[in-house]
């Protein structure tokens, strides 16, 4: 199986610019866990959509870069590779995928789809992206059009970006889909998506007041974290650490961007922390790991095709439940 189709994205390690607090140093936080926002790149974009759709009763905004519609892979890696990444062998049946979502909503496996009408949604696909076909991202947009009012839906698809997380000046080339897959695009995707999801925010200054804390995913989420890495990270601004009311944003990395592979690259370089620091937002960065045995996940992707079981896209999906546990831990520690 080819690396560039199975593994949606990679990254390289970066030099840490943050202090990382030990797991036992987590401050008491006053978090709003009923108005969560999420974002993700590539396989992380798929995960952001899954978490949003499954939990639209508490997720009020989702931002996806270079990904496709909810349940695109239909619990089948063959469909995933044939329709949901860099090629579309047959047209994506968005209505059928959405019908499955409705069935799960009716059974209570995901939140009622009516809740999505209260969401803000932002998505981006670069015109130079050859890793995820534009038709795949267009299908995601078409799917959300069924559920979210047009005034709350933003689709940026006219920028000459490759398969990268666009930033003002971090990462590598913006026009080459190469590590670290964070591109110097003179475009602040972090600011664009957070402002779209949360309303007009304070522009970030040059100083970071907060710290990155580490979270023991195995201890916090138990068996639901069996396909995840040992450690997740969260950026906590000083105001939040002092107990002020704060929102929470969850950012999902792409394949080959998990911390064991890239150290702190994704945690540090997207620009999310800079915006969070001046707007009382805690940013959670859960982490996957690679697996060369069953379940097969050699690139450390988030599960958007079913390697954790057929409930992966619902509230019963182990990875979604693990993220729930991490959020709860941050809020109640």
Strands 182-184 and 231-236: unpaired
Instruction: Please say if 42 is a catalytic residue.
Output: yes
Structure tokens at 168: 């003002």
User: Which of 43, 52, 98, 163 is the catalytic position?
Assistant: 163
Three-class secondary structure of residue 124 per DSSP: strand
Cα dihedral 54, 194, 247, 38, rounded to 10, equals 20
Give Cα 281 distance to the centre of its chain.
Answer: 16
User: Which of 39, 56, 119, 129 is the catalytic position?
Assistant: 129
Q: Which residue blocks in the chain are alpha helix, DSSP H? A: 3-6, 43-54, 77-83, 94-107, 134-145, 189-198, 217-221, 238-241, 259-262, 265-269, 272-277, 318-332
Structure tokens at 8: 């949606």
* Residue 119 near residue 59 (C-beta atoms within 8 A): yes
- Does the CA dihedral 106-252-189-42 come out positive or negative? negative
Strands 165-167 and 182-184: parallel
User: Which of 42, 177, 179, 214 is the catalytic position?
Assistant: 42
Cis peptide bond N-terminal to 332, omega within 30: no
Instruction: Please say if 129 is a catalytic residue.
Output: yes
Q: Which residues are catalytic?
A: 42, 129, 163
């Amino acid at each position: 199986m080819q690396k560039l189709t199975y593994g949606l994205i990679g990254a390289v390690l970066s030099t840490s610019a943050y202090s990382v607090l030990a797991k036992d140093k987590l401050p008491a936080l006053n978090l709003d866990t009923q108005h969560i926002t999420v974002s993700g790149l590539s396989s992380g974009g798929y995960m952001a959509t899954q978490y949003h759709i499954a939990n639209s009763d508490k997720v009020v905004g989702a931002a996806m870069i270079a990904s496709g519609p909810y349940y695109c892979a239909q619990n089948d890696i063959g469909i995933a590779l044939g329709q949901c990444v860099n090629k579309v062998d047959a047209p994506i049946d968005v209505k059928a995928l959405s019908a499955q979502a409705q069935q799960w909503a009716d059974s209570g496996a995901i939140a009622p789809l009516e809740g999505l009408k209260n969401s803000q949604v932002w998505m981006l696909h670069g015109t130079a992206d050859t890793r995820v076909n534009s038709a795949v991202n267009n299908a995601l947009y078409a799917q959300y059009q069924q559920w979210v009012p047009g005034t709350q839906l933003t689709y940026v698809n006219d920028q000459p970006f490759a398969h990268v997380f666009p930033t003002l000046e971090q990462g590598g080339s913006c026009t080459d889909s190469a590590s670290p897959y964070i591109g110097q695009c003179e475009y602040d995707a972090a600011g664009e998506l957070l402002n779209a999801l949360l309303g007009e925010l304070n522009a970030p200054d040059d100083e970071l007041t907060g710290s990155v804390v580490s979270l023991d995913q195995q201890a916090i989420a138990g068996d639901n974290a069996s396909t995840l890495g040992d450690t997740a990270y969260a950026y906590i601004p000083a105001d939040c650490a002092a107990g002020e009311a704060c929102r929470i944003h969850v950012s999902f990395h792409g394949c080959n961007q998990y911390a064991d592979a890239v150290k702190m690259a994704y945690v540090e370089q997207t620009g999310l922390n800079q915006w969070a620091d001046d707007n009382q937002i805690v940013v959670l960065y859960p982490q996957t790991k690679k697996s060369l045995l069953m379940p097969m996940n050699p690139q450390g992707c988030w599960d958007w095709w079913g390697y954790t079981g057929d409930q992966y896209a619902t509230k019963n999906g182990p990875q979604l439940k693990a993220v729930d546990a991490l959020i709860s831990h941050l809020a109640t520690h």
